[in-house]
């Protein structure tokens, strides 16, 4: 069960080191600034529609305007910012149409990944589902502690790891962007509990189906899962949208 040979073990070690180096080696200023902004956006500190002033942020982040613009570009291509020519960068305001678009893609990608697992079942290493298991338990723990944003994060990670089973770098990248945009939508909704609670259990069910190698049923469940989630999000979105942004 311990992934076998010495050569593969050494390769895995080298790959781990390489990943760490790449992480420490990152383009510093620009990406570091992007990291801070990304967190601010995904955690809701910067609400949708907000404008990000250049001069203001250069002082806060202590980077030059050019570097800050490069950070903007990074986040723009993650879908977390939008450029309006000669007007600045803004946190995008997504609507129902975007929800439908995002979920259509989620269904296509995630369901295909799960369904595709059947073909390559034998070559799947043993511990491959471990990250999914961790995410399920993290979500349950966070729910017990009433930390619903953390539940949302664990849910995101679950689906990211699910896509990761396909070993497709481009699917991973796309999913990263999709989930980032989804986070944008979550922060418009002020009822994280009702939104996330049902999916803790469904994630566990999905995991158990995968573990039992019932891929076809897992795919079907996931499809319905995502349809339900889409409907719930649209419903919650309409409620909040009508009540307006006034929460004080």
Partner DNA sequence: AGCGTAGGGATTGTTGAACAATCCTGCAAG
Partner DNA sequence: CTTGCAGGATTGTTCAACAATCCCTACGCT
Q: Per CB under 8 A, does 101 bind a second copy?
A: yes
| CB environment 204-225: b (16+ within 10 A), e (fewer) | bbbbebbeeeebeebbebbbeb
Query: x/- contact string, 82-101, with DNA (CB under 7 A)?
Result: -x-xxxxx------------
The token pair that represents 168 in the structure block: 């497709």
CB of 2 to DNA, least distance (A): 32
For a second copy, the binding residue among 94, 109, 179, 182 (CB under 8 A) is 109
Rounded Cα distance, 203 and 129, in Å: 13
Where does this chain touch DNA (CB under 7 A) — which range of 5-13, 22-30, 148-156, 228-236? 22-30
For DNA, the binding residue among 37, 46, 63, 114 (CB under 7 A) is 63
The token pair that represents 183 in the structure block: 């986070």
CB of 71 to DNA, least distance (A): 9
Using the minimum distance from each CB to a second copy, give the nearer residue, 112 or 221.
112
Asked if 75 contacts 86 with a C-beta cutoff of 8 angstroms, the reply is no
Helix axes 54-61, 29-42, angle to 10 degrees: 110
Asked if 135 contacts 157 with a C-beta cutoff of 8 angstroms, the reply is yes
The site for DNA (CB under 7 A) is made up of 25, 27-30, 51-55, 62-67, 69-70, 83, 85-89
């Amino acid at each position: 069960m311990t992934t076998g040979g010495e050569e593969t073990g050494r390769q895995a070690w080298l790959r781990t080191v390489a990943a760490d180096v790449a992480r420490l080696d990152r383009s510093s200023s620009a990406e570091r600034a992007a990291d801070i902004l990304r967190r601010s956006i995904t955690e809701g500190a910067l609400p949708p529609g907000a404008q990000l002033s250049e001069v203001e942020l250069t002082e806060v982040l202590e980077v030059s305007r050019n570097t800050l613009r490069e950070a903007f570009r990074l986040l723009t291509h993650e879908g977390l910012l939008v450029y309006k020519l000669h007007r600045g960068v803004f946190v995008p305001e997504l609507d129902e149409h975007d929800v439908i678009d995002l979920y259509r893609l989620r269904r296509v990608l995630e369901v295909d990944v799960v369904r595709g697992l059947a073909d390559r079942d034998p070559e799947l290493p043993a511990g491959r589902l471990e990250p999914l298991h961790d995410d399920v338990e993290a979500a349950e723990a966070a729910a017990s502690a009433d930390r619903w944003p953390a539940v949302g994060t664990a849910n995101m990670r679950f689906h990211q790891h699910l896509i990761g089973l396909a070993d497709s770098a481009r699917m991973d990248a796309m999913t990263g962007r999709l989930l980032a945009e989804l986070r944008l939508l979550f922060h418009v909704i002020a009822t994280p509990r009702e939104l996330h609670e049902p999916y803790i259990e469904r994630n566990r069910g999905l995991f158990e189906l995968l573990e039992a190698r019932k891929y076809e049923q897992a795919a079907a469940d996931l499809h319905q899962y995502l349809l339900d989630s889409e409907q719930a999000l649209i419903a919650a979105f309409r409620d909040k949208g009508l009540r307006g942004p006034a929460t004080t």
